[in-house]
């Protein structure tokens, strides 16, 4: 896959999210929810239709255990991030200290999700689509907090670079095929947890929303066609 795309697309997604939050922050809430629902459906579909069969098709034993470990890892990361990976953020806006728990959680999550991207272009698109609404939510919080603009810039820059870092690690020869398959299985667990959580929470108070339902179907169909 084009190495430039592997680097640029995840970084561009984060800074597009920042730009949307900076320019339109009073008016983006509904659009972000729809994009989040679409990203969850697309990411889940790519994972189930392509990535998951590839993992099991590799013929390596016990990958299911690593998928479950990935799911548990994501649950732990969300204790640190307060659910930022699937669109929720509950932190103190009055603090002028960098939210280190959120920062560390997002960086670990991003490095893992970047690991398999060089071998799966559709997954790259899913991660990029997923990053945009998450970046909007995180940027909105950071821009309305007491953090200095310098700290906000550093936070977003490191967050943007973590997925390309994961992609670079995924291409290194120091990892055997078996180890890469196990790491990819962990990523599957992470993505399954994040995407299903987004979909389960996409309807407020579990009420049917025809617009979101249509967006979810579109995400599933698009992932299938790609």
Tell me which residue has tokens 């983006």: 28
The pLDDT profile of the chain, 226 residues, written as one tens digit per residue, is: 577 778 899 999 999 988 888 887 656 566 778 888 898 999 999 999 999 999 998 888 899 999 999 999 999 998 887 766 666 665 555 666 778 888 899 999 999 999 999 888 889 988 998 898 888 888 888 888 888 888 888 899 999 999 999 999 999 888 888 999 999 999 999 999 999 988 887 655 556 678 888 999 999 999 888 7
Would you state the structure tokens that stand for residue 179, as one six-digit string?
């180890």
Q: What secondary structure, in 3-state letters, does 46-58 show? A: HHHHHHHHHHHHC
Query: CB–CB of 202/37 below 8 Å?
Result: yes
Token reading at 51 = 């990535």
């Amino acid at each position: 896959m084009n190495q430039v795309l592997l680097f640029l697309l995840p970084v561009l997604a984060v800074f597009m999210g920042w730009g949307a939050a900076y320019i339109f922050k009073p008016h983006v809430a509904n659009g972000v929810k729809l994009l989040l629902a679409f990203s969850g459906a697309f990411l889940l579909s790519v994972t189930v239709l392509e990535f998951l069969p590839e993992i099991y098709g590799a013929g390596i034993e016990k990958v299911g255990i690593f998928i479950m470990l990935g799911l548990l890892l994501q649950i732990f990361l969300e204790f640190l991030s307060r659910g930022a990976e699937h669109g929720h953020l509950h932190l103190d806006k009055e603090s002028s200290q960098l939210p280190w728990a959120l920062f560390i959680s997002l960086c670990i999550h991003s490095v893992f999700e970047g690991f398999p991207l060089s071998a799966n272009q559709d997954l790259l698109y899913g991660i990029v689509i997923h990053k945009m609404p998450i970046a909007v939510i995180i940027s909105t919080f950071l821009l309305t907090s007491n953090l200095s603009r310098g700290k906000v810039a550093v936070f977003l820059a490191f967050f943007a670079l973590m997925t390309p870092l994961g992609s670079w690690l995924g291409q290194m020869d120091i990892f055997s095929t078996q180890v890469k398959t196990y790491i990819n299985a962990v990523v599957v667990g992470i993505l399954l947890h994040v995407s299903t959580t987004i979909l389960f929470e996409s309807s407020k108070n579990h009420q049917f929303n025809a617009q979101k339902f249509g967006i979810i179907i579109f995400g599933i169909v698009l992932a299938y066609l790609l």
